[in-house]
C-alpha cells in the first residue's frame, strides 16, 4: 500500500504537470462511473433490510452484502423477497471451503451478480474447482496481488470476475496491466475499496474510467464514511448512482491541507 501511495502520487503529479486529467493519462474513457456499496453483517435481518433500503433509495446501482456460515441462504432469501429486482452480490471474505459446495450451489437461485472470494484468501486452485460446480460467477479479490497471479487465475478459470484494488497491487502501473489482461480475455473488472479517505478514493475514481471496469465498484460518496472528507470537493454520487468524472488536471480533487493538519495525530520527518 505504501508503494501504491507513492506511485499514484507520481501519476497525479505527472497529469498536473501536463495539464491533463489523471483518468486521461491512465487511458480512461468513461465520463462517469457507476457506483455500488458494500454492507457488512448486521445485528439483525431487519437492520440489514433497513440499510439496503437506504442505499437503494440513495441510487446505488449494486448492493453487496457480507455473508458467512449461518448468515447466508436464509438471509439472501429474505433480501430477495424484499428486493427482487436489485443488482445483488455477496462477499464471503474466505468464510467457506469446498466442503460447503452444496450451500454455495444453493445460492445460484438468488440471481447474484457474483460471489466474491468464497474460499481461502490466497487460493486460486480450489476456486477453480468451485467455479466448475456452480453457476454464479466467482469474483476473485484477495489473490489478485499482481499481473502474474491474475494470469494464473485466468488460466485456471478460478473465477469469471476480478476485483482490482490499487493498494493491494501496488499502484496504477500494475493495476493497468491487470486490467488490460482481463480486458483481452473478456473478464469484467471492478474497483474494490479499502476504506480510503478522499485522496485514495479519487485515485479509485480515475482507475474506474478504464474500459474494462464494466461493473459498479465500491467507490461511494464521501458522506457515506466521513462527516468531512480530506478533499475538496467531496466525492458525490448522483441520485441515479453515478460519479461524474472531473476534467480538471490531476485527480480533480484538492487535499484540504488545513483540515489534514488539524486531524493529524503523528508526523514523521525525512531528510536527504
Catalytic residues: 66, 165
> Distance (Å, rounded) from C-alpha 99 to C-alpha 141?
21
Amino acid at each position: 500500500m505504501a508503494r501504491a501511495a507513492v506511485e499514484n502520487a507520481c501519476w497525479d503529479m505527472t497529469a498536473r504537470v501536463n495539464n491533463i486529467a489523471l483518468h486521461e493519462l491512465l487511458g480512461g474513457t468513461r465520463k462517469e462511473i457507476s457506483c455500488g456499496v458494500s454492507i457488512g453483517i448486521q445485528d439483525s435481518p431487519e437492520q440489514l433490510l433497513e440499510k439496503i433500503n437506504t442505499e437503494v433509495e440513495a441510487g446505488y446501482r449494486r448492493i453487496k452484502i457480507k455473508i458467512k456460515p449461518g448468515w447466508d441462504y436464509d438471509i439472501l432469501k429474505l433480501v430477495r423477497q424484499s428486493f427482487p429486482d436489485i443488482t445483488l452480490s455477496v462477499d464471503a471474505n474466505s468464510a467457506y471451503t469446498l466442503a460447503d459446495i452444496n450451500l454455495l450451489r444453493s445460492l445460484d437461485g438468488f440471481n447474484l451478480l457474483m460471489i466474491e472470494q468464497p474460499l481461502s484468501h490466497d487460493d486460486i486452485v480450489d476456486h477453480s474447482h468451485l467455479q466448475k460446480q456452480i453457476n454464479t460467477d466467482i469474483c476473485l479479490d484477495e489473490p489478485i496481488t499482481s499481473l502474474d497471479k491474475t494470469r494464473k487465475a485466468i488460466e485456471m478459470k478460478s473465477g469469471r470476475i476480478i476485483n482490482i484494488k490499487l493498494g493491494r497491487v501496488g499502484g496504477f502501473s500494475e493495476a493497468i496491466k491487470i486490467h488490460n489482461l482481463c480486458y483481452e480475455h473478456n473478464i469484467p473488472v471492478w474497483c474494490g475499496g479499502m476504506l480510503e479517505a478522499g485522496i485514495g478514493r479519487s485515485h479509485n475514481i480515475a482507475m474506474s474510467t478504464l474500459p474494462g471496469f464494466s461493473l459498479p465498484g465500491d467507490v461511494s460518496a464521501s458522506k457515506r464514511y466521513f462527516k468531512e472528507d480530506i478533499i475538496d470537493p467531496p466525492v458525490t454520487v448522483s441520485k441515479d448512482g453515478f460519479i461524474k468524472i472531473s476534467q480538471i488536471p490531476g485527480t480533480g480533487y484538492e487535499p484540504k491541507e488545513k483540515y489534514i493538519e488539524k486531524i493529524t495525530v503523528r508526523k514523521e520527518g525525512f531528510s536527504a
